[in-house]
A and B are shown apart, each in its own frame.
Chain A
């Protein structure tokens, strides 16, 4: 699996557009979910996801497989992009009304959207109050849906460290949500 991915990455680094397309298809869903978990806005997450992969194309020549895992590298790009976005749009990341149409398209009723919006907002606020690493683990585990080992790989930590962060993060989150 790792060899296969390494091969795809090398082909992408050589400018093979098909390999770049494969990388996109492999990772876009999780990157999208991760960004959504940070910004709470599906439409914005769609756009930022596209931008992450455009940056991937721009910088893939500098990626070194011996360094960070490729997924971790992509997450870094995503995190940086979100930071950029927040910096440029420091007002709000709440779900805008104009996105209701899309929500309806996806089969979510307006009332549940409002409910979800509130819940997501509450969660976002609480996550912002706890330690960054703990919040990252909570997002990746329960919003993105990654297993402990996968989180460990993306955050370049040991599974034990992730479990500890998960434990402390949930405890801190409980306190923050009171």
Chain B
């Protein structure tokens, strides 16, 4: 019998109540010591549960289940595509004048339900959910021990993210994690912060960021009736009001207004004293302002305007889709949305990106976008490759056996040498070549980067969006950030697990996050101690599991939660390739120009056919081909992160080129063919990266009708050279490079003009000719003539 089994058997005897000395008799010392230790641990006094708290929690979870059921029953069917509420997100609206605004739960005749909207107004009454009085606590479930009460005349703030404060009697603000709130108290959330307020009967109010609320009155009667009045001068709230069998009131006031509700779910947004709106998820709400009253039903929204009162209810739109056009009119999944000055745009979405849109559809069919938020950058044509650097050349690298192309615009982490594990990101070109725009070193001491809210900060210890960040004498701090500010922080998680910042810089907007860490938990996710939210758009490497080292990338939402765009396994040195592309051929498989090898073990998700958009997870096979572990069909129509436009240069300087359409192209990412000048027409291919910025641009000057003499040697002029890779003279390639880089090429043995000998093992020159850069030059001549205005 092995020692593990024997130890287990002896421990079972101990648990069964046998005498310890009898068990230890004859056992080896080591085993005996282990059993003694286990006995000591087992003998520790164990706390028992507080009965009143157990009763209270039992009651509370049942009430929560009931509230959840009521909310779910009100959700719109998926078929009502433009009316699907996106869980947890509040509407943000625009509009207008701050008057007296109120809402009243409609008790009268119901209005017709708009087409496509499900409706369930039947109150669900469950006997065991009636309010409890006489000494029952409702607060045992709250996450700190200090909050306990038997008083139903209070509400509780919990589920706090970021900074949430309660105002004291002397007007100062106390930052809290949870708090018992009485009538008359005011509380607020900061940037990237959120909280939930729960009343005695389970009625809840979710507060979004930058929201201010006062409980004006709060009274529960033993009969079960309820009287609640809230004042909301600013921000967004989402109310789930538990239905009551007895006469009750639930009042929400915005400046100069008041109203009532019960047994309904609705949202209130107050942009400022002159802009507010109300939308209903469930039930019916009456909104009053300027002596005008309207009733709104599920799926409707009304804007309250100065001097005119609430507008006629219109269809409330919430959906997700891919942007194919920006400007004053946006096309999202082919549907037109008008923008106006009140439209809020978050995350700078670009063509190809997935966005969440919230807005309204007027009676004449015109749709206005109130809020557009980027959900996910377009990934078509982009790839991410994690692997071992085996060779580094001027134009070609080898990473885990795969040839990738770099150029002078490729951003490469300092210190990368052969033998490092790196993450390479870039585009798969039409030829199938993998052009890298960014190479990042993935060393053991994992780096991190994110933009978040400063919750606390001392000399060398900070709390930023829930993460404890430490600084040392080398940390650079810019902008004198204070609690409440948003900062961009990057650094390294050192060996003892400390997040050490290299720099902390105050910024105006939150951005993305990126870090590497051990996956501690799935569903809900926890990576390196950070709770990570995922959704249906999150790309999760199939090999990610608990215990795997993973790289996670995403953004911090307004409510302070961390939403992942991508979670990618970094286990071992295994090379992984992830990309989204269009199926160009099946049997043999080719996606985005890359030949792929699918085997019986490949997991194929969805009905994939020619031209389907798919997400591919692959690993290199020994023969250098890509072995696909998983290929998924994506519902979204194919889009490209790269756009091609013909445009006019309106200004240019040493740093940037500005086009008439508004695109500003950094010269550092631009491949330029021809001589640039203001007023010139150019043909440009622009590619957008994860940061919404242009990270690759190919600009070709269209021959001008009246060409301006070009200054000699101006930056942007190109030269054809023959490039001889270091240590691989047989792999010579004909390249077009900028004049500024010619000296560097000549210095290591390249020569001017096309290569004379094409008989090499490297990419043949005819393949070079397929390189889009060369294509562009070729196209330029053709297209340039065609586009010559």
Contacts and interface: CB of A to CB of B under 8 A. Distances in A.
Contacts of A61: 72
A76 B523 contact: yes
Interface in B24-56: 30, 33-34, 37-38, 41-42, 44-50, 53-54, 56
B57 A49 contact: yes
A166 B11 contact: yes
Given A17-B129, A28-B54, A142 B42 contact: yes
A122 B57 CA distance: 31
A97 to B, nearest CB: 12
A70 interface: no
B273 interface: no
Contact of B526 (A20, A80, A164): A80
A18 interface: yes
A30 B244 CA distance: 35
A165 to B, nearest CB: 9
A17 B41 contact: no
Interface in B240-265: none
A156 to B, nearest CB: 9
B319 to A, nearest CB: 21
A17 B63 contact: yes
Nearest to A48: B143
Given A24-B58, A170-B34, A119 B531 contact: no
B64 interface: yes
A84 interface: yes
Interface string A79-107: 11101111110100000101100100010
A125 interface: no
A15 B65 contact: yes
Q: Give the contact-size bracket for chain B.
A: 35 or more
Nearest to A123: B41
B30 A148 contact: no
B66 interface: yes
A119 B41 CA distance: 9
Interface in B515-536: 520-524, 526, 529-531
A42 B47 contact: yes
Contacts of B38: 141-142, 170
A56 interface: yes
A54 B142 CA distance: 10
Nearest to A87: B529
B508 to A, nearest CB: 26
Nearest to A51: B143
Given A50-B141, A143-B46, 10 more contacts: A17-B62, A20-B64, A20-B65, A53-B61, A58-B64, A62-B523, A79-B526, A142-B38, A145-B46, A173-B37
Q: Which 7 A-B pairs have the closest CB atoms?
A: A50-B141, A15-B69, A43-B145, A42-B47, A170-B34, A17-B62, A20-B65
Interface of A: 12, 14-21, 24-25, 28-29, 32-33, 36, 41-51, 53-59, 61-62, 76-77, 79-81, 83-88, 90, 96, 98-99, 102, 106, 108, 112, 116, 119-120, 123, 138, 141-143, 145, 147-148, 160, 163-164, 166-167, 170-171, 173-174, 177
27 contacts: A15-B72, A17-B65, A17-B128, A20-B61, A24-B61, A24-B62, A28-B49, A29-B49, A46-B50, A50-B143, A57-B61, A61-B72, A76-B523, A77-B524, A83-B520, A85-B143, A108-B45, A119-B44, A123-B41, A141-B11, A141-B38, A143-B41, A143-B46, A166-B4, A166-B8, A167-B3, A173-B37
